[in-house]
Each structure stands twice: as C-alpha cells, then as structure tokens.
Amino acid sequence: MKSTETQSLVSAESADQMRQQPAAFLASLDWQKFEAAALPLTKIYNPPQLVSTCKGFGARVSMCGNCLFTHRAPICAKPQFPCCCASAAQGRVQDLAHVKLSEPDEWFVKMLSVEHPNTPDFMKGIFWMEDNYAPEVLLTFQDMDWVSGTRGYFNPKYSWTNDPTCIGTLCLCMHLNNSPRSAWPFSVSPNGKWININPQWIYRPDEGEKITRPDGSVVEMGRGDMIRVSFANASDPTSGMNYQYLVRLVAYMENGKLVKTKAYDELRRRATMPDTIGSCCGYYNCSAVGDNYIFDAYEPLSDHQTMLFPPPLEVMWPDSVPLSWFLFFAPAAFHIPAMKSTETQSLVSAESADQTRQQPAAFLASLDWQKFEAAALPLTKIYNPPQLVTSCTGLGARVSMCWNCLFTHRAPICAKPQFPCCCASAAQGRVQDLAHVKLSEPDEWFVKMLSVEHPNTPDFMKGIFWMEDNYAPEVLLTFQDMDWVSGTRGYFNPKYSWTNDPTCIGTLCLCMHLNNSPRSAWPFSVSPNGKWININPQWIYRPDEGEKITRPDGSVVEMGRGDMIRVSFANASDPTSGMNYQYLVRLVAYMENGKLVKTKAYDELRRRATMPDTIGSCCGYYNCSAVGDNYIFDAYEPLSDHQTMLFPPPLEVMWPDSVPPSTG
C-alpha cells in the first residue's frame, strides 16, 4: 500500500484515459497574461445574466419566459394534471431526496458525510451558487475524485441541489446518466487562485481582496467565497465576460459539528421571502417593475430543493479510488459461483435480485382471473383511447389545445435551437451515449436496437413495438432485452431501447429514466392463459389471431401479427372501475434468419413521422388552431421523425444482479 494520494494518482493514470480531459488550451496558457486580462472583469461584480435591458412593455414581454426559468417557476410544476410533469418525473428518480433550505441541519451533515482524502481545504463545505440564473442552488466539491490537491473530477449527479421546477427537474434528470467517464475535470492554476472546469472558471480572491459593483459599492466576501465566471472565449478574457455569480461557503464541518456561515443567513432569507413580482393567472412572472426586474424575478429561491446524496467514494468513483480498500473489507462480494443452465441461473440469481427489485402488483396473488377477464374484455376490445377523445368545441377547443405547445410529439417550446428555447437540446447534449435516430430511416438502428436478446424472451415479445396513439412523448420500444427470469416473468428497464420525442417533455421523460437500474425495473407478469401482461399496475392485452377489435362506430381495427393493446383501469384490479387510457402496441420490425423484417404497421408509423402538421399554429409555437371533431387526435397524429434513445448494453451490464455473464 502506498500513500493515499500516490495510490489515487496511480489509479488515475488508467482512469484518465476514459475521462473527460482538461481544456486543451491549459497546456500552453500564459497564466500571467491570462490573469492580467481576467482580473479587471472578474473583480467587478455585475452578472451579465441579471442585467435588465428592456423597459416598460418590452420588459413585461421579456419576463414571460420566466414562467419556466425562475427558481419558483410554476409551469409544469403544480400538482394538478397536466401541470404535474416535474413532480411525476421526480417520482421516478430512485433515492431522490426532497429537502428544505430553511431546515438544513440534518441534510447538510448528510451531504458532507462523504469526503475524498485529497480534497483541498478551500474546497471543503457546502457552497451556494448565488445569482446563478440556472435552477441549481447548492453543491459540494469534497466528494469529487481529487486525484491530487490540484486536479480532480466532479460528478453533478450527486451533492447538487435543483429547484423542483420543470427546468430544474430537467437539469436534475439530465445528470442522472453521469458517470466517472463524463465527470467534469477541475484544474487548479499554479498560483492556486483560478480553477478551470473545462472550459469555465472559478476565481479565489485572497482574504481582504476587494470585489466591487459597477457603482463602487463593495461586495462582502466571506471566508471561502469564490467567483464563478465565463468568458466568450474561455482562454481569452478580452473576449468579454458573459456569465458571473458568487460561489458562497454556507456550511462546513468543524470538530464533528456543523457550522453555518453568514452567507447561509442570506440564503435562508431568499428561500423564505415572498415573491417580489406579480403574475398573470398565477403562472407568469411578467409584471416587471423597477430597473432590476430580472434580479427581482430571480432573487427569491425555492425553499424546496431536490438532490441525490453522495454514495461511498468506491461506488461513486470505482475506476479511481483505491480498490484495495474495497477488496479488503468486502472480499466475498467478488465470489463468482459456478455456471448453471441459462434459465436456471437467471432464476437462481433472481431469488436474491427479487429482494431488492420492484415487486409485481400485490393484487395478482389473489386475482380471480376469470372474473377479471370477463369484466376487462368488453372495455379492451372496443378501441376508443380516452386520452384522445375530443370533449370541447369552438373557443373551448382552442383554449384546451394551448397545452399542446408542450405535449404533442412535435411540440417546439424549449426544443428550438436558439436560446432560451434550447433547453431540450442542451439537456440531450449532456446525456452520455445518447443516439439521435430517424423513424423514416430505420434499417441500421433497428438492427442495433435488436442486437441484445435475453435467451428467455417469449416469442410474442420479440421485435420492436410502436406505442400507437400514446399521448406521452414515447414512440418505440423492445421487450427482448428485459431480464426475463422465466418465460412468464421479467423486468423492464425503460432507460434503454425506448425512444423519446426530442421535445421538452420528451427530453424530461428521457432524463427521468437515466437513473433507472435493476432495482427500479418494472415487473412484468404474464397471466396463466398468456393473454394478459401486468406491468405493476398497468395492463397489456394479447388478442388471438383473428380476434376482432372494433371502434365505437363498429369499424374493425386491423390487428397484425404480434399486435397488442395497452390498457389502464381506474382501479387496476377492477375493470368495472372504468378504462382511463388505451393505445395499440404494434409490432413494426423483427429479426428473421439474421435479416430485419418490417411489418405493415411500420408503413403507418413512417407515414405519421413524415406527414405535415395537421393543425395550424400561433407564432410557430402553439397547436391551438383546433379544427374538426377530432382535434386532439389531429394534434397527436403527426409523430416526430427525430427520436432520442440509449441503445442497450450487453445483458451482463444491464442486469448484473441476475443475467448470467455468458450463456456458454
């Protein structure tokens, strides 16, 4: 055993080959010249993102965007449908903690419970991103992988709090797939006063160093406080500063006790202060007042924050932290049992896996299947998706359609390339290994999607399926990379082989699955007669070949080989409670003798993906020009040809606690 720092550095030699690298310009940076150009900008505290540039009506219009972006923005964050997207996404994030800035003692200590032995003293504690425009508030640097006292890697998946807003939740979710491989590289300058986070900067003022505002007033800087700054060209401060905020130390541990600083008092004040700007309909911070209306809108923080607490260092940084620590204390964890047959091995593994997995619906144990089917079939075999039923006319229809600026498959809000409407693409850009594919050009990526198949997959679950008429921004999936512990029971991980629209809500759905694991996988249970599949607590029905499915007008729904029907009941165990969701699960492609075969259903999928919009829009954003009796269907019929997805890894990576490492 070598010293801790030496061992970490030795481990880092191999880790660095797979990690993000420090900014290339650092190797040849003239630090003296850089600092001479950077200091005059950095030491004048005037965050560009909070500078108010409009007046009067222009100010009000510019503030409308803050219905989504402020720390307390309520759009899609209220509890009632359809404004519950944020809380619904949060509910799918495993181990997500909900904390309050005004009640910090217990969770501050937990946040600080993990500390890398190489952490520099000036990076210890909890820091507040004061005046940050983004929906991120607190973080700590001490659980970073500090490979030395001047170089480390930061994983924003942990110890990083987010507002519970729509955009805050999107930011939370986009980090769920982060790993050591995508960690941010930190590099401390030779004089210790600058920290580069490829490619951004943090400046560490000396004690007593004066930081002033444009009016000459002094910014009070406490012990450990720093300044985060971005330049248009990160290597050249003369290009101009385009982002700035304070990195305030608000708490730290001393002799085993939590100490909160003066900066925490200001943090708490902002978290508990009333809103300072009025609103329209309770949603929009558009009643701009005064010369500092942007600051006024962003000053109030959300007292409620979401975060993931850090796991032990050997879990967080398995490729760098000395494995000898872990092997010494847990040698039994690496015992590999003798191989058995594929299905037996999977079932044996599942006995222990099931103890930590989501369980099938409890009502299945005592369900009277004959009674259930008698009640369910009359509803299921009439194809009339409740979510697409049109209930309004005229002006009411137009108003009801305004929501679809966010929810349709091609909804452009926050999904356009220009700022600030680029949130979706920005989030997608942070998802490691994310694939961008086209429904109209499927041959290559369909084969890749079908390249992983569990040996226990039932034949009727093989192939790629289309969720036709699904209201949600999810289009294609496959069941064959599930952990089929038998031919009638399995676990599904929607992180992989599940395509999403590139819209704001589609990206939110994508991101909320990034933290999925075997522990949070959905349990599938096939009924004794093989015609019903329960996905705790929802259902899929498998019609027999030739079984008639009709619409309310009596017309027959054409069902192809392998097509199924997804259905939800108000009470999942009692179909008499009424059906509240329904769509077709269409087989669109499968492999046969090593070749890809596309079905007739694929032709309809492609038509919808390439068809023009069927409903007009307002300003290119709102599908609010409702026409005809089926305006909801008309809005959701066009699919986004562009889809995002993560291809499945090998089974032993996807299901390490259950699937055998090999089938040989």
Residue 415 confidence (pLDDT) above 80: no
pLDDT digits (tens, 9 = 90+) for 307-316: 999 999 999 9
Give the single-character DSSP code of 430. T
Between 543 and 199, the higher pLDDT residue: 543
Q: Which two tokens mark 431?
A: 């998802």
Q: What is the DSSP string of 269-305?
A: HHHHSPPSSEEETTTEEEE--STTHHHHHHSSPPSEE
Query: At a CB cut-off of 8 Å and minimum separation 6, what does 55 contact?
Result: none
- In terms of Cβ atoms closer than 10 Å to its own Cβ (0-12, 13-18, 19+), residue 480 is buried
User: How far is it, in rounded angstroms, from Cα 313 to Cα 153?
Assistant: 12
pLDDT score of 28: 94
Element (H, E) at 532: strand 532-535
Residue 341 confidence (pLDDT) above 60: no
Between 578 and 280, the higher pLDDT residue: 578
Give the single-character DSSP code of 557. P
pLDDT band, residue 612 (cuts 50/70/90): confident
Residue 324 confidence (pLDDT) above 50: no
pLDDT score of 511: 85
Between 613 and 358, the higher pLDDT residue: 358
pLDDT score of 425: 82
pLDDT score of 350: 44
Region of poorest pLDDT, from 37-46, 243-252, 389-398 = 389-398
Other beta carbons less than 10 A from residue 604's beta carbon? 15
296-308 mean pLDDT: 93
Mean pLDDT of the chain: 84
391-395 mean pLDDT: 60
pLDDT digits (tens, 9 = 90+) for 65-123: 566 688 988 777 765 545 567 887 888 888 999 999 999 999 999 999 999 999 999 99
pLDDT band, residue 627 (cuts 50/70/90): low
pLDDT digits (tens, 9 = 90+) for 170-196: 889 888 878 888 899 999 999 999 999
Residue 616 confidence (pLDDT) above 50: yes
634-659 mean pLDDT: 91
User: How far is it, in rounded angstroms, from Cα 248 to Cα 226?
Assistant: 6
> In 3D, which of 196, 192, 138 has the Cα closest to residue 168?
138
| Residue tagged 């619906």 (tokens) | 361
pLDDT score of 643: 97
pLDDT score of 4: 42
pLDDT band, residue 259 (cuts 50/70/90): very high
Region of poorest pLDDT, from 317-331, 497-511, 537-551 = 317-331
569-579 mean pLDDT: 93
User: How far is it, in rounded angstroms, from Cα 453 to Cα 480?
Assistant: 5
pLDDT band, residue 578 (cuts 50/70/90): very high
pLDDT score of 2: 38
> In 3D, which of 225, 259, 610, 175 has the Cα closest to residue 431?
175
Percent of the chain with pLDDT over 70: 79
Asked if residue 350 lies in contact with residue 485, where contact means CB atoms within 8 angstroms, the answer is: yes
Residue 379 confidence (pLDDT) above 90: yes
Residue 345 confidence (pLDDT) above 50: no
pLDDT digits (tens, 9 = 90+) for 135-152: 999 999 999 999 988 999
26-31 mean pLDDT: 95
Asked if residue 245 lies in contact with residue 228, where contact means CB atoms within 8 angstroms, the answer is: yes
pLDDT digits (tens, 9 = 90+) for 515-558: 888 888 999 999 999 999 999 889 999 999 999 999 999 999 99
